């Protein structure tokens, strides 16, 4: 499920499957004799205070949704050649769920409202400073790679991570635009890292280019960075409880030295937490995620995006 929303007596879901996007609307007025109507309305009422409401509501309607997806299953899309353009500008279908003889069924629906905001990531090129300094790649010239351990068909529905670019043998990490402020913060820092050549001395992300929608070069959907071959995050290692004293000392030193180098160049990491530290095959640490935000377990709210906040986060990461 890609998106969920509800209001008073209706709910909407966006489901990604087989390279398609399915918009599903459910309205109480269409559920006359459905035995679960009261439960449907109860879950909608509780949704603003219940983080699991979307999953509970989807479970309630899942039989009808599964039937809908099966009826529109298609083998025409080759997951081995699936591009970012196809993922973010997919074939889109609209349905509503209605009660029929006491059960839910689906019907084609002519939408009467705009699509939910944020489904298609984009920012106008004119809003991105110094964007001409790096390559611009058309989304159709990319090929999405499956994540490690997943099935190749999963690229049709999973959020893209690693991609190949036509004419290039290197693998790149793709990160889509979410909100503009976060994207611009990270883009600026990636450019600073590149200009200062910090990525050549420290294990930091290296920007490769911007990805634009095919035939719309002014609409940017994300950024490409060089891939880091990693074996998980620091959070994964902490979760196992099996970090040796020697390794802990090494990681503490690497993390602190990298943060100090960033600060020396006027860069604040920001969202300091173990999930944003990758561990490579040589057991070295790599920083990721410079788009801002914070986790109160590692950085106090009054220290967000400050030098003091970064240092506080580093201290807390290794349990000091």
Let me know if residue 9 belongs to a domain. Answer: yes
Q: What is the residue-level pLDDT of the chain in tens, covering all 320 positions?
A: 788 888 889 999 999 998 999 999 999 999 999 999 999 999 999 888 888 888 999 999 999 999 999 999 876 788 889 999 999 999 999 999 999 999 999 999 998 777 877 788 999 999 999 999 999 999 999 999 988 767 888 888 899 999 999 999 999 999 999 999 999 999 999 999 999 999 999 999 999 999 999 999 999 999 999 998 888 999 999 988 878 999 999 999 999 999 999 999 999 999 999 999 999 999 999 999 999 988 999 999 999 999 999 999 999 998 75
**Domain end call among 204, 226, 248:** 226
Whole-number pLDDT of residue 149:
64
CATH value at residue 157: 3.30.200
Whether residues 238 and 292 share a domain: the answer is yes
Whether residues 242 and 207 share a domain: the answer is no
Whole-number pLDDT of residue 115:
80
Whether residues 210 and 261 share a domain: the answer is no
When divided into structural domains, the chain yields a total of 3
Whole-number pLDDT of residue 170:
92
Whether residues 147 and 242 share a domain: the answer is no
Q: Say if CB 304 and CB 286 are below 8 A apart.
A: no
Let me know if residue 52 belongs to a domain. Answer: yes
Whether residues 8 and 101 share a domain: the answer is yes
Residue range(s) defining the domain that contains residue 184: 123-226
Whether residues 16 and 99 share a domain: the answer is yes
Let me know if residue 114 belongs to a domain. Answer: no
Residues 6+ apart with CB under 8 A from 302: none
Whole-number pLDDT of residue 6:
87
**Domain end call among 165, 199, 226:** 226
């Amino acid at each position: 499920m890609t998106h969920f929303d509800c209001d008073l007596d209706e709910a909407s879901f966006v489901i990604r499957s087989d390279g398609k996007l399915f918009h599903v609307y459910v309205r109480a007025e269409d559920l006359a004799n459905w035995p679960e109507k009261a439960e449907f309305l109860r879950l909608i009422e509780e949704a603003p205070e219940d983080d699991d409401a979307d999953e509970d509501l989807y479970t309630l309607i899942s039989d009808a949704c599964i039937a809908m997806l099966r009826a529109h299953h298609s083998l025409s899309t080759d997951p081995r050649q699936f591009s970012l353009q196809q993922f973010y500008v997919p074939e889109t279908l609209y349905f509503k769920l209605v009660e029929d003889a006491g059960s839910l069924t689906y019907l084609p629906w002519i939408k009467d409202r705009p699509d939910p905001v944020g489904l298609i990531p984009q920012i106008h090129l004119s809003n991105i400073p110094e964007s001409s300094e790096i390559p611009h790649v058309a989304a159709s010239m990319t090929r999405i790679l499956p994540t490690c351990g997943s099935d190749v068909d999963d690229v049709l529905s999973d959020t893209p991570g690693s991609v190949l670019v036509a004419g290039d043998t290197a693998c790149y990490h793709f990160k889509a635009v979410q909100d503009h402020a976060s994207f611009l913060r990270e883009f600026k820092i990636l450019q600073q890292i590149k200009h200062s050549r910090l990525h050549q001395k420290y294990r930091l992300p290296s920007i490769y280019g911007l990805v634009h929608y095919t035939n719309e070069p002014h609409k940017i959907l994300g950024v490409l960075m060089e891939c880091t071959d990693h074996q998980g995050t620091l959070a994964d290692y902490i979760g196992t409880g099996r970090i040796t004293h020697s390794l802990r000392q090494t990681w503490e030193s690497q993390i602190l030295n990298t943060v100090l180098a960033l600060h020396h160049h006027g860069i604040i990491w920001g969202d300091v937490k173990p999930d944003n530290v990758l561990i490579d095959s040589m057991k070295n640490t790599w920083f990721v995620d410079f788009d801002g935000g914070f986790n109160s377990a590692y950085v106090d709210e009054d220290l967000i995006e400050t030098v003091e906040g970064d240092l506080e986060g580093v201290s807390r990461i290794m349990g000091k």
